[in-house]
Structure 1
Amino acid sequence: MRRRFTELDSTWPAGLIRRLAAMVYDLFLIVAIWMLMGFIAVALNRGEANETPLFHSLLFVATFAFFAFFWMRGGMTLGMQAWRLRVQTTDGMSITLVQSLLRFLAACASLAALGLGYWWILFDAEKRSWSDIVSNTQVVVLPKPERNTNKKK
């Protein structure tokens, strides 16, 4: 079920450095998922490495499932949470499965083009990457949460 996010007036477009930092965090999680899948595949294959196209396809699908789950659920992967980033539609809604798929495929194309789709952020007036443009979404920075200064005495 899609949801409307709050604090839309206090967000701003995310820059390249913040996005790359979140990607590094998420990369560690993705590698852990790949390693777990590899261990399972080796165990099921009686100790032999499994380098089949089917196995690589499963890794690709698992990677998409990771991102789609987090993007559709709350707009943030764990790396995005650490850097206070959120992906949303241009009108402040959570994204759909189709938008997640478009974002993911455009991200793959961006990385395959030596990151050109992300360097695009530096030249786009709205700081959009290819993934944002293709899926009609945006990545925004969330404001820092206010600290409660009223301590109990």
Structure 2
Amino acid sequence: MPDHERPSPLIGWRLLALLYDVFPVLALWFLAAAAFTLALGDAVRGGAAGLLEFAVFWAMAGLYAVFSWRRGGQTIGMRPWRLQVVAANGARPTTGALWRRYAVGSLSLLLGGLGFWWAWIDRSRLSWHDRASKTRMTRTQKPAS
């Protein structure tokens, strides 16, 4: 059975990958925060500059995720668990679909992870962002040794 036809991985594998991905994203956010602090000083703490900084953080995390998914189907956090993002038909997803996946996944996290938890009751184990972007996460088989 091809990997894209298997049921999506359990939510635990997804959460482990998300936990691993916190570290490279934090590194990117530290760089952005340093740039904002150098450019604006304490003005970043509130107002429009604070909102701009938040938007830059969100966009940087999105660039990390979308670039990783587009390049090889995996972020750094997905590699140890053999998780991969593919289009619903098993092909390579489009950049637009991956940005949609990231945006809906972000919204899901803001709602307490509701879109992730949805995968527990979904027949195909698909989350909101899987459905919205017409992509799916697969767990590849271990390479033969």
Q: For residues 52-131 of structure 1, what are the structure 2 equivalents within 5 Å?
A: 52=49, 53-131=51-129
Deviations 1:45-89 (A, max 9, x none): 3x5362412222111111111111011111100001111000001
> Number of residue pairs matched?
140
Deviation, 1:10, is: 8.4
Question: Which residue of 137, 140, 146 maps to 2:138?
Answer: 140
- 1:22 aligns with 17
Structure 2 spans left out of the alignment, 5+ residues: none
Deviation, 1:41, is: 2.0
- Residue identity opposite 1:33 in structure 2: L
Matched, 1:50 2:48: no
- 1:3 aligns with none
The structure carrying a bigger helix percent of its residues is 2
Q: TM-score, normalised by structure 1?
A: 0.84
> Which shifted more, 92-101 or 123-132?
92-101
- Quick check: which has more Rg, 1 or 2? 1
Say if 1:10 and 1:142, in contact at 8 Å, map to a contact too: no
- Moved >3 Å (runs of 4+): 7-12
- Supply the distance in 1 between the matched residues of 2:116 and 2:6 (Cα, whole angstroms): 20
Q: TM-score, normalised by structure 2?
A: 0.89
Give the alignment's Cα RMSD to 1 decimal: 1.7
- Supply the distance in 2 between the matched residues of 1:139 and 1:101 (Cα, whole angstroms): 15
Say if 1:11 and 1:142, in contact at 8 Å, map to a contact too: no
> Which shifted more, 129-138 or 47-56?
47-56
- 1:4 aligns with none
